[in-house]
Chain A
Amino acid sequence: GESVGLHLPTLSVQEGDNSIINCAYSNSASDYFIWYKQESGKGPQFIIDIRSNMDKRQGQRVTVLLNKTVKHLSLQIAATQPGDSAVYFCAARGPYSGAGSYQLTFGKGTKLSVIP
């Protein structure tokens, strides 16, 4: 089955620096990936997604990189701000589970702490 993991459980960065959060997935058939941000006591918020036919996708201050060869993706946050402090999850979609359904498998999360 699919497993999704994150390389580091915690990450501390100085305000203004760039942050890189890594994630590995196990199923080479996964075709779609999402990064979520979860603040303490709240539900996860969608940040950015990427399909498996892409290597890179950029949003506002965030970039996701996908390396299908080693089954690894990363989330880069530029000019990290105190409001970026949260737990970040990656999720991988697939394989097809029937009944019109694809399921997401979630990583355990990396806690990002921004030092003012």
Chain B
Amino acid sequence: DGGITQSPKYLFRKEGQNVTLSCEQNLNHDAMYWYRQDPGQGLRLIYYSQIVNDFQKGDIAEGYSVSREKKESFPLTVTSAQKNPTAFYLCASKEGFSGNTIYFGEGSWLTVV
């Protein structure tokens, strides 16, 4: 089945640790995105990538890092510099410049303990 796979679904992080969230897509989409979702707020863009080996900061990139070494993969690292990392993280992808619609994965819950 074609789609976007995020893992793990649930992740607990201790203070001061870095954690990496995985995102894989088999839709052959060029563009990939990471959003953060907090209760009562709209989705906020962390990072996006239009093409392999290139990515751009979104609105709330501080404390996060990404890589795009393969077209199908766009992992997100939540670093210890992110002071309030507890949230629901959504990976998404889009066909590319000509594509309009962003499609989402099922999300990953990150909790700091």
Contact = CB atoms under 8 A, between A and B. Distances in A.
Interface string A22-63: 000000000010101000011111100100000000000000
Contact of B106 (A32, A42, A99): A42
A6 to B, nearest CB: 9
B43 A106 contact: yes
A103 B43 CA distance: 12
Q: Among the interface residues B4, B56, B102, B103, which one has the most CB atoms of the partner chain A within 10 A?
A: B102
Main secondary structure of the interface of A (DSSP, over half): strand
Contacts of A4: 42
- Assign chain A's interface to a size class: 20 to 34
A101 B56 contact: yes
A106 B59 CA distance: 13
A93 B56 contact: no
Contact of A49 (B48, B97, B101): B101
Nearest to B104: A43
B105 interface: yes
Interface of A: 4, 32, 34, 36, 41-46, 49, 89, 91, 93, 99-101, 103-109
A44 B6 CA distance: 13
5 contacts: A36-B104, A42-B106, A99-B56, A101-B50, A109-B42
B100 A103 contact: no
